Amino acid sequence: MRTHTILIVLAIGVIFGLFAGYYAGRWQRVGTLPDLVRPATARPATRSAGVPRDFISIAKEAESGVCHIATTAPVPEEVRIWRRFFGEPDLERVPYNYGSGFFFSKDGMILTNFHVVQGADTIRVGLTEKQEYPARLVGYDPLLDVAVLKAEGGPPNFRPLPLGDSDRLEKGEWVVAVGKPFGLEKTVTAGIVSAKGRQFEEVGGRMSITSYIQTDAAINPGNSGGPLLNLRGEVIGINTFILGRGGNIGIGFAIPINEVKRVLDRMVKGGRVSRAYLGVEVRDARSPEARQAGVTASSGAFVVGLAVGGPAQQAGVQLADVIVKVNETPIRDDRHLREIILRQTPGATVRLEVIRQGRPISLTVRLGSR
């Protein structure tokens, strides 16, 4: 009996020892986990001059240069009559639109989208809800959809955001959007450059004259006019529109800041920016329409329409011509021709090289204005 009891005790001891050893080993392994997965701060790294800053510092610096924009518009007279008929208080103006913008000079000059302020009779800009100032429209380019405002009042020196170089932007590069979507001021979102050079025939009911930066940084109603920043904190685009209805689905578009720079001085000087006008309707020279007309050119813009009395017609351009050069610039297609002409100064003289029935012809055109 005693021998049987001793064996039971020994067996229990062995089993207990096995379990104790197992759990001790397990806890020891868990204890070494921090040595295998180190936090980012465990071993500080020195930052080289070319390494971009983090999102936190970019957001802090950008917030002081980004403003929200609110506009009002006159109440239509028929609405005012209707309100008076039903005994409702008369209104002279109502909230009209809201969006975002950013300062690009210390004296209160602001860049935004033209559609944010188009049709407004009063404009207010603000760094916060409690820091709002009246503003006026200085200049605008309705085709590019950009405008310059001037804040009236406020601090003696605003903090401008630096303008970058959108031509250096790379697909896949990190970008940051700042604005006031749905009235939520100083909202910061991040994403990447999904694509460059996106083109559309029209945007928001107006002819599109530029290509766009595509990003998956969240852009929503109210972000229009706000900056798209690179990781150096430079503005490389103006957030303009999204695909989809109601809100962000990861496909937003910004006007490249280099396109804005080309007309910035003209907007600052005041008034509407006029664009050069050729007076042709064109298609890609490789389009089925051109091929049916016997065009064999591998590039260029095929003329399918002429404005009566327009600059092109007056210079001798004819239907079915293929425009292959403007000055010394070879024309890739119809979109490229439009971009090249729009970058010219209204009233400037340009030389067109066209192919007519297989023969090259040189024409001189004095561009119009629109």
Residues with catalytic roles: 115, 145, 224
List the one residue out of 65, 48, 47, 45 whose CA is nearest residue 233: 65
Residues found in the chain = 370
Q: Is 99 helix (H, G, I), strand (E, B) or coil?
A: strand
C-alpha pair distances (Å), 107 with each of 31, 132, 236, 280 = 59, 15, 21, 42
Name residue, tokens 């024409």: 363
What's the first-to-final CA gap in the chain, in angstroms? 114
Following DSSP, what letter does each residue of 256-312 receive, concatenated? EHHHHHHHHHHHHH-EEPP-EE--EEEEETTSHHHHHTT---SSSEEEEEE-TT-HH
The CA-based dihedral angle spanning residues 255, 259, 261, 265, taken in that order and rounded to the nearest 10 degrees? -110
Helix (H) / strand (E) containing 165: none
